[in-house]
Amino acid sequence: MRVRQDTGEVISRRKSPKKEELWSVFDRLVRASGLLSLRGLVMELVSIEMEEIRAVLEEPVRRGRFLRSYATIDRNLIAVRESREFSSPADWLSLLPENDDGYWTSASLGNAAGMGIGQARKLLYTFCRAGFLRQIPSEDRAKRYEPAQPSGVKPD
């Protein structure tokens, strides 16, 4: 919502075109994948709807790299849509859909979960770095991942 700086009158209102999903969190977690395997860490992901109130400025101001013709005055929480808590590797692995092959590739995960291949690649990379998945040999160029064995457990 845009408001006039001097009077506070609402000038315009529009919905943001940016739509985040649960998978979007892996854009950030890909850089902090080691945190997911820390003992005692509980992460809660909350999907919200919010409103940002902006004041139109008379003269544009440089914020970062670009000139901005507005200033953010306030942000209001409108609704909490969903909340999920993750405290163990099993919680994180529950995000992966069932797979008959016993392994996932970026393409198979993307198709099964309804996300893009790039997003699936970030998720698989993050889980592999966190120790939830391990990369297995492949005949083709696609990287394959399977669930990692819990520490101290030997496969039969």
Residue 118: its pLDDT value, please?
94
Closest CA to 126 of 102, 149, 92: 92
> In this structure, what DSSP letter does residue 29 have?
H
Taking a C-beta distance cutoff of 8 angstroms, is the pair 86, 127 a contact?
A: no
Residue 153: its pLDDT value, please?
46
Average pLDDT over residues 2-17: 74
Residue 98 predicted with pLDDT over 70: yes
Average pLDDT over residues 21-48: 91
Residue 154: its pLDDT value, please?
47
- Please report which confidence band the pLDDT of residue 68 belongs to, taking 50, 70 and 90 as the band edges: confident
Residue 133: its pLDDT value, please?
94
- CA–CA separation, 126 vs 23, rounded Å? 12
Average pLDDT over residues 15-31: 85
Taking a C-beta distance cutoff of 8 angstroms, is the pair 62, 74 a contact?
A: no
pTM here is 0.76
- The whole-chain average pLDDT of the chain stands at 86
